[in-house]
């Protein structure tokens, strides 16, 4: 049976979802998708980058990931709206519900992308894809591109061929015409570094990569060279994985509103990150043995250090203490603008080997953490917090620190629309 895979990709996802929400729920009349606009972070809190842009903004050269200030220099009339991750998660779930009408084998690749294993689900792959595309637009108000092919790689390449709101096929016989003329950077798994190496070899298009002997690529790029040549030939046998693989590590990071120059303040931020990371571990029923801390200073230089614990843990205080040890061994006093806690060696083991000189009642701590988690799930994460986070800017100039730091910041989860001009 001929294999059929779809790749569904929301067009300018964050911006499209924001546009639809403003039009249909906030009474707006301006469609952000039709004007130079973008979803961007808060420059004052050092999150000022473009997260998504409209097609008209792209015509001015505005790019995803660039600073908001740089984007405004290219397009002075650029309308920048704040992100709303609560909305994005709801929109993503609504999309997945529609996709589930067509197949139960769905791999969510990102918040706005999914692969569908359609083998045996349709006799008319393109017609069914057109129906899916129209259904999403009609019921949810935003548009998607659908790539149709015989494997995941070609389906993803197909969905990117031309946007928005289109269906593209990329069968093996279509590769020479549709894929090989494209710049090599358009190929999945070819980044900026790989593009430079390929250019030195005189390889500028996907077709040229496909025609290059494997031994040449292997000599210069080793395994990666062989892999991207296979992709250039359209070869990919990876399955659509309906169940996501288990996490190999858990972590969170944050950018501080101002440079951190005092140890106690850095530790306060580390405690807020430890709270979030440990809660995620307990929610998934896992523990970790490796804790690492990453630092980015005011000059954007990056450092990282890790330690291995004697026993696996999911307790906030143990993870925090390990993070403080890492930080103390890593920090040389330079102003810090970004902090992260990352963990590894994930295990589901339940027992704990007690030490002869242990003075901590770990079972009591475990029950206390479970009680806190239960309260937060039921009443919200702010129902209980450590006293050290109760200070405010009015208390001697101590900066406000979210007691559950990292991940999606509160202002990004749902913006205050009362401060927004919705036209």
Helix 263-284 crosses helix 316-330 at what angle (to 10 degrees)? 140
Please state the length of the chain. Answer: 423
Integer Cα distance of 388 and 317 in angstroms: 14
> Domain check: are 136 and 215 in the same one?
no
297 pairs with which residues across the strands?
A: 336
> Does residue 309 sit within a domain?
yes
Cα distance between residue 151 and residue 107, in whole Å:
13
Does 135 share its domain with 11? yes
- Is 419 a domain residue? no
Let me know whether 5 and 132 are in one domain: yes
- Report yes or no: 151 and 107 within 8 Å, Cβ to Cβ: no
Same domain, 365 and 219: no
Helix (H), strand (E) counts: the chain: 14, 12
- C-alpha span between 344 and 121 (Å, rounded): 39
How many Å apart are CA 419 and CA 104, to the nearest integer? Answer: 42
Helix or strand or coil: residue 233? coil
Residue 400 confidence (pLDDT): 78
How many angstroms separate the CA atoms of 195 and 183, rounded? Answer: 9
Helices marked H in 55-213 — which ranges?
Answer: 55-58, 68-74, 85-99, 125-140, 152-159, 175-178, 192-200, 206-211
Asked if residue 417 is part of any domain, the answer here is: no
Looking at the DSSP bridge assignments, the partners of residue 11 are: none
Domain total for the chain? 3
Using DSSP, state whether 405 is helix, strand or coil.
coil
- Indicate the SS3 state at residue 209: helix
Task: Report the 10 Å Cβ neighbour count for 397.
Answer: 8
In a domain? residue 122: yes
Query: pLDDT per position in the chain (423 positions), as tens?
Result: 899 999 999 999 999 999 999 999 999 999 999 999 999 976 655 557 899 999 999 999 999 989 898 999 999 999 999 999 999 999 999 999 999 999 999 999 999 999 999 999 999 999 999 999 999 999 999 999 999 999 999 999 999 999 999 999 999 999 999 999 999 999 999 999 999 999 999 999 999 999 999 999 999 999 999 999 999 999 999 999 998 888 889 999 998 888 999 999 999 999 999 999 999 999 999 999 999 999 999 888 899 999 999 889 999 999 999 999 999 999 999 999 999 999 999 998 877 766 666 667 788 889 999 999 999 999 988 899 998 888 655 455 567 788 888 876 666 677 777 777 787
Phi, psi for residue 38 in degrees, rounded to 5: -160, 155
Q: For position 355, what pLDDT does the model report? A: 64
Q: Are residues 215 and 302 in the same domain?
A: no
Q: Looking at the structure, do residues 216 and 319 belong to the same domain, yes or no?
A: no
The gap between the terminal CA atoms of the chain, to the nearest Å, is 52
Residue 391 confidence (pLDDT) = 64
Question: Are 86 and 165 in the same domain?
Answer: yes
Assess whether 82 and 226 both reside in one domain: no
* Domain, as residue range, for 65: 1-171
Sign of the four-CA dihedral 397, 402, 403, 406: negative
How far apart CA 390 and CA 364 sit, in angstroms, is: 25
Q: In this predicted structure, what is the pLDDT of residue 402? A: 87
In a domain, 241, yes or no: no
Take residue 361 and report the two structure tokens written for it: 């009642």
Q: Cite the active site residues.
A: 113
Tell me: do 221 and 114 sit in the same domain.
no
**Is residue 420 in a domain?**
no
Residue 393 lies in a domain: yes
pLDDT of res. 98: 98
CATH value at residue 335:
3.30.1490.100
CA distance 400 to 390: 8
CATH (domain of 4): 3.30.70.270
Residue 414 belongs to a domain = no
Q: Does one domain contain both 144 and 77?
A: yes
Q: Which of 153, 171, 189 delimits the end of a domain?
A: 171
How far from chain centre, in Å, is Cα 49?
14
- What is the enclosing helix (H) or strand (E) of 379? helix 362-379
- C-alpha to C-alpha distances, 284 to 24, 179, 252, 279, 372, nearest whole angstrom: 36, 41, 15, 9, 16
Helices 125-140, 85-99: inter-axial angle, 10-degree rounding: 140
What's the CATH number where 223 sits? 1.10.150.20
187 shares a domain with 87? no
Phi, psi dihedrals of residue 162, rounded to the nearest 5°: -155, 135
Query: Are 17 and 161 part of one and the same domain?
Result: yes
């Amino acid at each position: 049976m001929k294999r059929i895979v779809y790749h569904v990709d929301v067009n300018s996802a964050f911006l499209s979802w924001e546009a639809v929400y403003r039009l249909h729920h906030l009474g707006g009349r301006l469609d952000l998708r039709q004007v130079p606009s973008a979803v961007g972070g808060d420059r004052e809190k050092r999150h000022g980058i473009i997260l998504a842009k409209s097609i008209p903004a792209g015509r001015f050269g505005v790019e995803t990931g660039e600073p908001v200030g740089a984007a405004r220099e290219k397009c002075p009339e650029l309308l920048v709206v704040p992100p709303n991750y609560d909305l994005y998660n709801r929109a993503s779930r609504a999309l997945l519900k529609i996709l589930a009408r067509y197949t139960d084998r769905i791999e969510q690749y990102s918040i706005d992308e999914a692969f569908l294993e359609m083998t045996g689900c349709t006799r008319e792959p393109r017609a069914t894809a057109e129906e899916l595309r129209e259904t999403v637009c009609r019921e949810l108000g935003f548009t998607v591109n659908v790539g149709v092919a015989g494997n995941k790689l070609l389906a993803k390449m197909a969905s990117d061929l031309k946007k928005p709101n289109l269906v593209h096929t990329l069968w093996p016989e279509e590769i020479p015409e549709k894929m090989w003329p494209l710049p090599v950077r358009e190929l999945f798994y070819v980044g900026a570094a790989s593009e430079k190496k390929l250019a030195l070899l005189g390889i500028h298009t996907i077709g040229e990569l496909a025609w290059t002997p494997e031994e040449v690529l292997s000599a210069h790029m080793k395994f990666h060279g062989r892999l991207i040549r296979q992709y250039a030939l359209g070869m990919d046998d990876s399955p659509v994985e309906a169940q996501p693989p288990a996490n190999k590590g858990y972590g969170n990071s944050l950018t501080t509103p101002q440079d951190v120059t005092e140890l106690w303040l850095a530790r306060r931020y580390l405690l807020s990150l430890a709270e979030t990371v440990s809660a995620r571990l307990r929610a998934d029923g896992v523990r970790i043995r490796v804790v690492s801390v990453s630092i980015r200073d005011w000059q954007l230089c990056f450092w990282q250090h890790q330690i291995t614990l004697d026993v696996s843990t999911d307790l906030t205080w143990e993870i925090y203490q390990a993070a403080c040890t890492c930080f103390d061994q890593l920090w040389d006093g330079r102003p810090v603008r970004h902090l992260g806690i990352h963990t590894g060696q994930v295990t589901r083991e339940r027992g704990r080997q007690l030490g002869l000189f242990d003075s901590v009642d770990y079972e009591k701590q475990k029950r206390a953490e479970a009680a806190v988690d239960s309260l937060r799930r039921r009443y919200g994460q702010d129902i209980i917090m450590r006293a050290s986070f109760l200070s405010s800017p009015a208390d001697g100039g101590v900066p406000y620190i979210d007691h559950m730091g990292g991940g999606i910041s509160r202002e990004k989860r749902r913006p205050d629309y009362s401060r927004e001009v919705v036209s």
